[in-house]
Amino acid sequence: MPKTKVLAKGKATAAARDRSIALRVNGRIVEVRTPPHRTLLEALRDAGFVEVKRGCEKGDCGACAVLVDGIAVDACLTMAWTAEGREIVTAAGLGSREAMHPLQRAFVERGAIQCGYCTPGLIVAAQSLLAKTPDPSEDDIRHGLSGNLCRCTGYAKVFEAIRDAASEMRGARRRR
Amino acid sequence: MHATFDLDRPANLAAAFALLKSEGAAALAGGTNLIVDMRAGRERPQRVVSLDRLEALRGIRQTGGQVSIGGRTTVTDLLLSPVIAKTAPALVESARLFAGQMVRNTATVAGNIACGSPAADLVPPLFALDAKLTLVSARGRRTRPIDSFFTGYKTDIRRPTELISRISWKAPTSRSCALFYKLARRKGDAITVVGVAVALDVDRGLCTRARVALGAVAPTVIHAREAEAILEGRPLTPELIDSAAESASAAARPIDDIRASAAYRRHGVRVLVRRLVTQAWERLA
Ligand SMILES: Cc1cc2nc3c(=O)[nH]c(=O)nc-3n(C[C@H](O)[C@H](O)[C@H](O)COP(=O)(O)OP(=O)(O)OC[C@H]3O[C@@H](n4cnc5c(N)ncnc54)[C@H](O)[C@@H]3O)c2cc1C
Ligand code: FES
Ligand code: FES
């Protein structure tokens, strides 16, 4: 049963006001003009961040995951306007071609990528997991990836990649 | 998204109440129900009022024997909190089995309650804790036991201008044990087929308080009242536990759906109530 009054399609009375919002993505400010009913996924892809993938658009697949203030969220279940003032990082923003993030490198080296559609979301989810749990058990990794679907890899190599990256990241932390 | 609506991010409760008064307004917390429902056309609010800046709805506090959490507490917050680990272990178990990481990171406790789904996983453990909800609006606040909040399938006593600001409960004593089991098609990211929360208090060999809450087997989450009465005031025996399990199964009013048949759900209730009550009793013995 709907909680809000159901209106005939297209009869929304509140005029959608387009507005320019400033999103902080991968360390730089991006101006996006967008109405209030656009999701962060739509706004980011419109702005060229196409590494954020559009999958199910209902929270099931995790392909759209981005970090918001360091925590992985589904961009398809986040409204663009509510992301204003927050720090957004996409999978591509974690590292660069020259200085790859340990997760990015481990996914490549372990062959944890096949078609690649799920990969940005998996890397974002893994980063969010490792930030809280630097030495994850098998169960922790399962729990951390429970919102990501991959139709290709069977996950085994994904798990290996995350374990590799985690140990590299722990080593880097110790050296610091 | 196809739906069109206006969106506001009020900075305080007074501003939020003013916005919620307008026609077709809906509160937005984690968005894990509302945004999915708007995209599917099941909800068509004209004005979405985001709660993301309302700090009054956040925070996990324990003062003496009383625990209080803000409505915007996320499922992940529950998993990371030592206060919750200590005072609500069944809620932690439910949070652990909840959705996937990204949804857990944004889904809120108040949103889980307010969505009114009988399969809302955090609700049975909150029933077992005798949790109370604080509802606030421009007109003031009222506090209601969670088990008197729901009135039917996805209906409740909340006025459209009210927000669930806090959820509170009494910290259990060392002589109590609470457990939760989520029966679903798989362990990760699945909708509950049967959810059972059980809480027992034991004193000098007697079960002094019993709570048996059932999820996904009736139009709302329910107490198995008769089963609770069977267990209270007695030392528990396998026969008594059997009859409580039987009674809980009879109290369920499940439906057939794509996830399971009504008969399977009834059977699930019987098996899980027997198992959880036995485990809780043995842990306290
Ligand atoms: C992929 C996926 C998996 C899921 N898995 C599970 C699961 O395993 N178990 C489960 O129980 N649920 C699950 N859900 C459902 C959902 O995540 C939960 O019900 C969640 O707790 C809703 O909270 P929210 O903050 O996202 O609510 P929102 O979507 O923001 O809001 C839901 C409703 O509550 C109202 N509301 C929100 N906050 C308040 C408040 N403070 N006061 C008054 N009203 C309020 C809103 O107006 C709306 O009507 C899942 C959802 C998805 C998309
Ligand atoms: S596109 Fe967001 S979870 Fe699938
Ligand atoms: S690599 Fe193809 S979906 Fe994961």
Q: A163 with A141: CB under 8 angstroms?
A: yes
Q: Are B55 and B76 in contact, with CB atoms under 8 Å apart? A: no
- In 3-state terms chain A splits into helix, strand, coil percentages (rounded to 5) of 40, 15, 45
pTM of the model: 0.96
Residue A126 counted as domain residue? yes
Determine the Cα–Cα distance for residues B244 and B230; give it in Å rounded to an integer: 6
> Among the listed ranges A2-11, A16-25, B215-224, B227-236, which one has the minimum average pLDDT value?
A2-11
Residue A3 in domain:
no
- Contacts with A4 from chain B: Cβ below 8 Å: 24-26, 43-45
The answer to the question of residue A44 being in a domain is yes
Tell me, which fold does domain B176-284 have in CATH? Enolase-like; domain 1 (3.30.390)
Q: How far apart are CA B205 and CA B220, in angstroms?
A: 33
Q: Does residue A4 belong to any structural domain of this protein?
A: no
User: For B23-52, b where at least 16 C-beta lie within 10 A, e where not — what string?
Assistant: ebbbbbbbbbbbbbbbbeeebbbbbbbbbb
Domain of A81 in residue numbering reads as 15-175
Q: Where are the domains of chain B?
A: 6-50, 57-170, 176-284
Q: Is A136 in the pocket of ligand 2 (CB under 6 A)?
A: no
Give the confidence band of A3 by pLDDT, cuts at 50, 70, 90.
low
* B13-to-A174, B54, B108, B167 alpha-carbon distances in Å: 45, 7, 17, 17
Instruction: Give the separation between CA B138 and CA B145, rounded to whole angstroms.
Output: 21
Q: Does B189 touch chain A (CB under 8 A)?
A: yes
CATH architecture entry for B6-50? 2-Layer Sandwich (3.30)
Number of domains in chain A: 1
User: Which of residues 237 through 276 in chain B touch A, CB cutoff 8 A?
Assistant: none
Whether B116 and B164 have beta carbons less than 8 Å apart is answered as: no
Structure token digits, residue B111: 């949103």
- Using a 10 angstrom Cβ sphere, with 0-12 exposed, 13-18 middle and 19 or more buried, the burial of residue A66 is buried
Report the separation in Å between the CA atom of A102 and the middle of ligand 3, taken as the mean of its atom positions.
19
The mean pLDDT of chain B is 97
Q: How many angstroms separate the CA atoms of B202 and B279, rounded?
A: 13
Residue B120 Cβ < 6 Å to ligand 1: yes
Query: Which region, left, alpha or beta, applies to residue B192 given φ > 0 means left and ψ of -120 to 50 means alpha?
Result: beta
Q: Do residue A147 and residue B101 have CB atoms under 8 angstroms apart?
A: yes
Any A CB within 8 A of B1 CB? yes
- Report DSSP letters for B202-263, one per residue: EETTEEEEEEEEEESSSSS-EE-HHHHHHHTTB---HHHHHHHHHHHHHH------SS--HH
CATH fold for the domain made of B57-170: 3.30.465
- What would the pLDDT profile of A118-172 be if each residue is shown by its tens digit? 999 999 999 999 999 999 999 999 999 999 999 999 999 999 999 999 999 999 8
A9: in domain: no
ipTM for the predicted complex: 0.95
Does the C-beta of A62 come closer than 6 Å to ligand 2?
A: yes
Q: How far apart are CA A25 and CA A93, in angstroms?
A: 8
Reported confidence tier of residue A16, pLDDT bands at 50, 70, 90: low
Any chain B CB within 8 A of the CB of A21? no
- Residue A6 falls within a domain, yes or no? no
Query: Sheet holding B194-203: strands in order across?
Result: B176-183, B194-203, B206-215, B222-223
Q: What is the pLDDT of residues A64-96, one digit of tens each?
A: 999 999 999 999 999 999 999 999 999 999 999
Residue A5: inside a domain: no
Our CA angle for B117, B148, B250, nearest 5°, is: 70
The response to whether residue A60 sits with its C-beta less than 6 Å from ligand 2 reads: yes
CATH number for position A96: 1.10.150.120
Q: Which of B37, B103, B188 sits opposite A142 (nearest CB)?
A: B188
Q: Which parts of chain B have pLDDT scores under 50?
A: none
